Amino acid sequence: MMKYYFVGIKGTGMSALAMFLKEKGHFVAGADTKDYIFTEERLKNNNVKIESFDDMNYQDFDFIVLGNSFSDMKIENKKTIKYPNLLEEIINDHISIAVAGTHGKTTTSTFLANMLNSNCLIGDGNSTFNNSPYFVFEACEYNRVFLNYHPDYLVITNIDYDHVDYYKTKEDYRNAFLEFISQVKTKVIVNGDDAFLRNIPNAISYGLSKNNNVFADNIKLHKKGITFDLYIDKKYQRTMNLNIYGKHNLLNVLACISVLYILGEKIRIKALPLAKRRFTESKYKNNIFIDDYGHHPNEIKATIDSIKQKYPNKKIVLIFKPDRYSRIKKFGLDFVEVFKMVDEAYITPFPTCSKKEAGIDIKDDYLSTLDESIILLKDDYSRFKNYQNNLFLMSSSKNVNTIKEGIIREMKK
């Protein structure tokens, strides 16, 4: 047994890696901000000690694991290892399957790990250790972190320009993915409906187009999910009924089926679990609340499409909590167009932890200045006091629990 101390343990990847090592029989602890982050619940439920940065006590630990935000930290007389380097060591002991792409990484990883019953490390703070020869993990492109990995197989769900604070051009963003592809040991699986990915040579493709190696036909979207005919190498396989919503999730499933096909594994799909904070539903009286991690306009659009499929008669109230100033500035008009899909749209102030990147000088009400129907929502939720039979979509990469709790408090009055 080794002892690992995680600096930044509440990070989604870090918390998942900490729990993976704990399940493997090692001792783990760590430090992070005192602010609530949803990943801490699993850590605390498994008796993992979380200290504040001011009270770090790592002297008795064998390794100090540094999260991506702390990779430059110097700790004297201690062995330090960066998060991606430790993950690379772990995946080398398995048949590794990386899932990358702008959108859908977490959901696709969750689906695939479930189908393979594999070891996994997923970006919603989830991880599993078992005796499977496979290891499914989410590979994030931010800061080119995924270039630390050399997986056996790689799935790319899509490439849609993002992280504009780091990648200054679409070409730079795409080139990072091309470099990652060059590091894959065995095979690349891509969304063949993506205009850029369909040109990747020697890849296995999936999608809704019949030009792909794996595709869906006769697709029917309904309140209970999606029904479709599965084809592999132009041969009909079977008709499938799945409890998923939105064509984006159908693509995620087809990605997983493609991996199973390449690995020679049987295609067994039962109920598919959603990742944390991906279309997470709760209710208060006749109002439905959906907590979703979407923070890019195309992610929010996909979630709204899913809502309209499952709840076609619900009035949709969108509350969006932004994260990065650069993303809001770059995609402002795209956000506005997506917000037109709902009945009411609100934007909250930026979190206090959000920092304005160089050259970006916008205020909390920036989207409201682009479209006056988008209302800046601060801490007063009294406007929702008498709302009945609505669907509240709370979309953000940040914590939105306090918003939901504030709305319900008003409804109880």
How confident is the model over 27-52, as a mean pLDDT? 91
Per-residue pLDDT, averaged over 18-25, amounts to 93
Judged by average pLDDT, the poorest of 17-31, 249-263, 265-279, 337-351 is 265-279
What's the pTM value of the predicted model, to 2 decimals? Answer: 0.88
Average pLDDT over residues 338-364: 90
The region, left, alpha or beta by phi > 0 then psi within -120 to 50, assigned to residue 117 is left
Concatenating the DSSP letter of every residue in 200-230 gives -TT-EEEESSTTSSEEEEEEEEETTEEEEEE
pLDDT band (50, 70, 90) for residue 270: confident
Q: To the nearest whole percent, how much of the chain has pLDDT over 70? A: 100
Does the pLDDT value for residue 84 go beyond 70?
Answer: yes
For residue 124, pLDDT beyond 70: no
* Mean pLDDT along residues 115-119: 94
Single-letter amino acid code for the residue at 291: D
Lowest-confidence pick of 177-181, 186-190, 266-270: 266-270
pLDDT at 178 exceeding the cut of 90 = yes
**DSSP line for 100-157:** ESSSSHHHHHHHHHHHHT-EEEETTTEEE--S-SEEEEE---GGGGGGG---SEEEE-
Q: What percent of the chain has pLDDT over 90?
A: 78
Mean pLDDT on 178-206: 97
pLDDT digits (tens, 9 = 90+) for 142-171: 899 999 999 999 999 999 999 988 999 999
Mean pLDDT of the chain: 93
Average pLDDT over residues 205-210: 97
Tell me: pLDDT of 125 over 80: no
Residue 262 clears pLDDT 90, i.e. is over it: yes
Whether the predicted pLDDT of 340 surpasses 90: yes
Going by pLDDT thresholds of 50, 70 and 90, the confidence category of residue 70 is confident
